[in-house]
Structure 1
Amino acid sequence: MDWFYAIVYGVVEGVTEFLPISSTGHLILTGNLLGVPWPQQVKNTFEVVIQGGAILAVLAYYWRDFLQIRHIGQDQGQQRLWLGVVLACIPAVVLGLLFGDFIKANLFRPSVVAWALIVGGVLMWLIESRKVTPDVHAIEDIRPFKALAIGTVQCLALLWPGFSRSASSILGGMLLGLDRPTATKFSFYLGVPTLGGAALYDFLQSREILAQIGLLNVVLGAVTSFVVAYLAIGWLLRFVSTNDFKGFAIYRIVVGVLILALISAGVVQNGSLV
């Protein structure tokens, strides 16, 4: 059954990684409801590594845009964009190095994830209810200070597991004046170094752990994640061009409440996830 679990995990990861609904929360539900028999360390490592498939989907979807980096020496827009991406990654890297182990040991549990989903959903609803006219309509126009600020807000996902990296970066961008499609696209770009680096590091450090379920199953999960994430990116971009995030806000609250209910019923154990 390992191949089946790998495919299901890949589908869930691909759908939820870039949508502002927390891949962590959905992978918790998936693992518990399916009764995936893998050791927790294997689950954790597998979940991080198959993020690499989702990141490759971003590179594939925007391959023409990424090729523009070759003109960075002459293009001020490209210079501003990639300076912004680098600056936005710094807060998460610093906090991860300083507090990553503490957060995993003390906060990485289903109840914390559930409340992050609920609170994030409420904040998303409130931000979408504001009557504010955005002033940034292209990722090349994001100023360095705003990029750094978005990266700082993105740290909510690190400090509070389950808040969602994409949700925090998108909401941070909207608060700082980015329109919804621009904030969403910038969130995709930020995912490349942050998630891609984590996926590569875990794969190189944990190949023996992953061997317990077979490296072919890891590849299967990553490929599934790639295909589904590619489709999800296109769908989300079309969705945000004409819709707000209030539907996602409601969905987050419902999933958070569901996780709390499953904890109360004893279906989901509220122990450490690491």
Structure 2
Amino acid sequence: MSTIQAIILAIIEGLTEFLPISSTGHMVLMSSYLGIENDKFTKLFEVCIQLGAILAVVVLYWKKFFDFSKWQFYVKLALAVVPALIFGKLFDDLIDEHLGSPVFIATVLLVGGIILLFVDNWFKNPVITEEPDINNVTAIKIGAYQCLAIMFPGLSRSAATIIGGMQQKLSRSLAAEFSFFLAVPTMTAATGYKLLKFISDEGSITGDQIKLLAIGNVVAFIVAVLAIKFFITILNKYGFKYFGIYRIIVGIVILALTVGSH
């Protein structure tokens, strides 16, 4: 992987991490286009730079994230992340090996886009508008939706958890905010796990690889800061439908190009 390739992937990650269009799906597709999709470091890079994007949440919402007087908030995040940690550990190798093809991701993008066209009409009457009103059981249920994103690359972790939150009667804006916060422990754990697994398999990580990871995380962080503000504005004003249309178009284009090339 070159520095330019790392920057391209990081920009894509920063732009798409918090949008319900799948950052992983976009990065896998781009790495395939760049011809580096089968490199083990690429798979590590695609996970680790998500942490840089996620840290944008910590900076933008630092007052809420570091309000240690509300310890229940941290308990809910800890409980919510458990299903994804267990599921990810059990099925990590299977997902990496079999579910990362462009056709599979394009299909998931397409189906997910169709779902997003109707989500706003499905959940019109939220009853939970403030984070303290989210109980522990609800937090675990929302966290379980992350397993869908793990199982289906291209689905979008943010889309899964936001929709999960709305299904649990959270308002759209609160569901998005909780999804952002939940991403912090989720991606911290995923990054640590992938890094340790890579070192265990490869024996070490080189200085050049560390430099690429650093560059990728910084770029993803900067771009994500801007993307979060954009997403919240669009989500509150228009809902999910335009993201659904985008996913459908991208899914169809990728399927057409892939089928046409064979």
TM-fit CA distance, 1:26:
1.0
Match of 1:193 in 2: 185
Is 1:264–2:259 an aligned residue pair?
yes
Q: For residues 207 and 38 of structure 2, what CA distance do their matches in structure 1 show?
A: 9
Specify the code of the residue in structure 1 equivalent to 2:94.
F
Q: For residues 28 and 108 of structure 1, what CA distance do their matches in structure 2 show?
A: 7
Spell out the pairing of 1:98-177 with structure 2 (5 A cutoff).
98-130=90-122, 132-177=124-169
Q: 1:152 to 1:205 in 2, by over 3 A?
A: closer
Specify the code of the residue in structure 1 equivalent to 2:4.
F
TM-fit CA distance, 1:214:
3.7
Please give the per-residue CA displacement for 1:223-257, whole angstroms capped at 9, x wherever unaligned: 00010011111222222222211000111111111
TM-fit CA distance, 1:205:
4.4
Match of 2:51 in 1: 52
Q: For residues 260 and 205 of structure 2, what CA distance do their matches in structure 1 show?
A: 31
Structure 1's unaligned 5+ residue stretches are 73-77, 268-274
> How many residues get paired?
259
Structure 2's unaligned 5+ residue stretches are none
Please give the per-residue CA displacement for 1:135-172, whole angstroms capped at 9, x wherever unaligned: 11122221222211111222110121211111100111
Q: For residues 205 and 191 of structure 1, what CA distance do their matches in structure 2 show?
A: 21
Is 1:14–2:14 an aligned residue pair?
yes
Specify the code of the residue in structure 2 equivalent to 1:13.
E
Bigger Cα displacement from structure 2, 196-205 vs 153-162: 196-205
Q: For residues 233 and 115 of structure 2, what CA distance do their matches in structure 1 show?
A: 23
Does the residue aligned with 1:20 lie in a helix, a strand or coil? Answer: coil
Bigger Cα displacement from structure 2, 165-174 vs 208-217: 208-217
Q: 1:29 to 1:165 in 2, by over 3 A?
A: same
Match of 1:244 in 2: 239
Q: For residues 94 and 37 of structure 2, what CA distance do their matches in structure 1 show?
A: 24
Specify the code of the residue in structure 1 equivalent to 2:107.
W
Q: For residues 39 and 256 of structure 2, what CA distance do their matches in structure 1 show?
A: 22
Specify the code of the residue in structure 1 equivalent to 2:114.
V
Q: For residues 66 and 188 of structure 1, what CA distance do their matches in structure 2 show?
A: 11
Partners of 1:210 and 1:218 within 8 A in 2:
no
Spell out the pairing of 1:223-238 with structure 2 (5 A cutoff).
223-238=218-233
Counterpart of 1:93 (choices 77, 85, 99) is: 85
Q: For residues 24 and 264 of structure 1, what CA distance do their matches in structure 2 show?
A: 21
Partners of 2:15 and 2:227 within 8 A in 1:
yes
User: Please, what is the CA RMSD of the aligned residues?
Assistant: 2.1
Q: 1:136 to 1:38 in 2, by over 3 A?
A: closer
Match of 1:217 in 2: 212
Please give the per-residue CA displacement for 1:41-92, whole angstroms capped at 9, x wherever unaligned: 12111111111211221111111112202x13xxxxx41x323212211211
